[in-house]
A and B are shown apart, each in its own frame.
Chain A
């Protein structure tokens, strides 16, 4: 079991550019979560999926953010256009019954 795999590990981009973060959950897990972590706001849930279906996206900050899960083994979080305030560490996590398994996160820097 390779765990939850996120890519890229680091992303530096300029304001206005599109950013796509990728996640491969643990095989067999039916729930997938995207979190954002900053010093100011801590760990925030952005969106989560059950069986590839978005259940709660109320944490998505605005329309610039979108997430998809086309199949059970892949999810993306897209920011278009990116802004400096989007700079944070973005975590993907997956779960079956219990507990939550996190990826190593993507550190996004928007200049």
Chain B
């Protein structure tokens, strides 16, 4: 089975600064999808950004961007101009189209934004 690893249980960033959250995954598949989800204290799981493995261009959504390194099986999330509302748990996820649309989640990184 595919595994997703988030090696940073906790991170902090000063407001307006940039922070990068790490994610690596293990797979033998060539076609798959990667996601970052945000879970604020309200517990709602919110999709932040997605990346298709066949696309070489890194996905960007406003202040959120990814650094997708397919050969290294790395998928980091960069948050620019951090805001207080960015404080949350962030989960990296892998979706396999070849195993019945199964999703695999990392253990999460808790991000604190310091005013």
Please list the residues of chain A having a beta carbon within 8 angstroms of any beta carbon in chain B. Answer: 31, 33, 37, 42-43, 45, 48, 50, 55-56, 89, 91, 93, 95, 98-102, 104-105, 107
Contacts and interface: CB of A to CB of B under 8 A. Distances in A.
B75 to A, nearest CB: 14
A43 B91 contact: yes
A31 B44 contact: no
A47 to B, nearest CB: 11
B95 interface: yes
Contacts of B102: 45, 48, 55-56
A98 B91 contact: no
The binding surface of chain B is classed by DSSP as strand
A33 B105 CA distance: 13
A101 B108 CA distance: 17
Nearest to A107: B43
A107 B33 CA distance: 29
B45 A99 contact: no
Contacts of B95: 95, 98-100
A30 B13 CA distance: 39
Contacts of A43: 91, 105, 108
B93 A100 contact: yes
Contacts of A100: 35, 47, 93, 95, 103
A81 B49 CA distance: 39
Given A99-B33, A99-B35, 16 more contacts: A37-B43, A42-B105, A42-B108, A43-B108, A45-B102, A48-B102, A56-B100, A91-B45, A95-B103, A98-B50, A98-B95, A100-B35, A102-B37, A102-B45, A105-B43, A105-B44
B43 A99 contact: no
Contact of B103 (A37, A42, A45, A107): A45
A37 B50 CA distance: 22
Contacts of B35: 99-100
